[in-house]
Structure 1
Amino acid sequence: MLSRVAPWLASRRDVSDLAGMSVRTLDGRDTDALKRLAQQDPVTNVFILAHLRAAGTAAPTSGGAGIFGVFDDGVLVGACWAGANLVPVQLDPALAGAVAEAANRSGRRYASAFGPADSVLALHTELVERGHRAHEVRAEQPLMIIDGPPCVEPNPGLGLGNLADFDRILPACAAMFEEEVGYSPFLGGREFYSRRVEGLIRQGHSLVHLNDAREVVFKAELGAVTSDVTQIQGVWMNPLFRGQGLSSGYMSAVVEQAQKVAPVTSLYVNGFNTRARSTYERVGFRQVGTFATVLF
């Protein structure tokens, strides 16, 4: 049961409403309820819907990741993925304290929290109260979609990544990761991140252009995929080719490939990255929400 009233909860819910509230880790019996909850916003919740599509269950994974569910008199009203990262699912900010308490009790270390800005920032506030410290908070990340043809001619050089080029694609992915978060994805060893990149290639979700010299010029991934929505992640242009006006054509080609998989293509971008935002808008993306990311 909820042990205290979070600041968000006190301002938005009557204290009498707390009597039927509880938080627990979801199991297989909760799969359909979680799917219904997430499908209230299939763009925002593409991460968890992609997980359910792949795993087929809301139960904890073999690696120990789980999903906290918040229940009101037995009805699932919010959730939060808790693996390497925290990812809220239709989580009212008023309930962030309950989820933060569960996350804190789990003893896990989280690399980040990402998702809808109001939920993520509320989680951050509650986690800070419990001794968790972030080294960076990105509070404004436009969530953008395109659901029609791109407005720029796609670059025909972009294609699916090939395992034969894994030794070239992996360093490009690692370079993107380090630029984005400030440290190497290999800090804890190469195996986990290498498996992730290999898996994306095998699934046909790695998009890359290698030139005649077998250099990766541009790459991106379809990081989360459902039958309705894909989310583009890991966009990276080789520094040797930046400033040449190539980004729009490559992003259009990414959209072209993504729309073979699902009708809606999404991404989120740092608010301060005005150059990238301008590129996405030129291609035809429009903002439909705001994400935030907290890096721990």
Structure 2
Amino acid sequence: MRARLLSGIAAGTLALVTLAAVPASAADPAKLSVLHGVPGLTVDVWVNGERTLDDFTPGSLAGPLDLPAGTYTVAITAADAADASAPAIGPVDLALEAGKNYTAVAHLDAAGTPTATLFTNDISATAAGEGRLTVRHVAAAPGVDVLAGTTPVITNLTNPNEKVLNLPAGTVSASVTATGTTTPALLGPADVPVVEGTSTIVYAWGSATASPATLALATQTITGLHSNPSGVNAGEVGLVSDGGSSAWTFAIAGLAVAGLIGAGLARRAATQRS
């Protein structure tokens, strides 16, 4: 079962997280954030034979990082493997296109099978007084409606799709319900700030069919959208669990991931110099 789950997220937590181990290029980099949204699965990620992410756990977020265009050889193993000589998946060669802002999500499809989706984030400028709200369905659940208060503002959103709204700045009390219903809420209600010049991206991830259910909300923000998109600051990225866990907890986890990435780069550079 563990090997099957590893296979299921190869294109996501395998491929796209490992790109974070490559030194950033100052010339027209891509920006990449990665959300691990497969409940109950911990993995190690390797780049060119070096362990880059150790015990990467569900609910963890990596990035955003500036990355150069290029092709990278990556492999994924069960957690705490001695080396990458017998990967469960790979090695595979992966390419990353420069000049775009991405979020890669390892998640469950509607039937509960691990998969991965790469989203291209909209970093176009927002109108004065407006912010951008994007809702992404990456949970093992059927189609859902998103309610602002008691009013559906998004209907029949299915996995792995998204809906982008440009809204006046303010706070939206959002709930996620099964399509065509207003109660009970599968997630929320949760206050979602819509900030002028900022893109707020909300993810519904986990599983509605697990026992107990593992549904949770994650949020990502991209700031600086008043200016030319080519100069956008990727901003802060944080996670908020359905239970209301602090985003600072996950920010610290993100720094830990970045530290692991840096360590992998240092080891690789030392090997190349010797």
Which is richer in helix? 1
Question: Could you say which structure has the greater relative contact order, defined with CA pairs below 8 angstroms and 6 or more residues apart?
Answer: 1
**Same-fold call, TM cutoff 0.5:** no
Instruction: Answer with 1 or 2: which has the greater Rg.
Output: 1
Which is richer in strand? 2
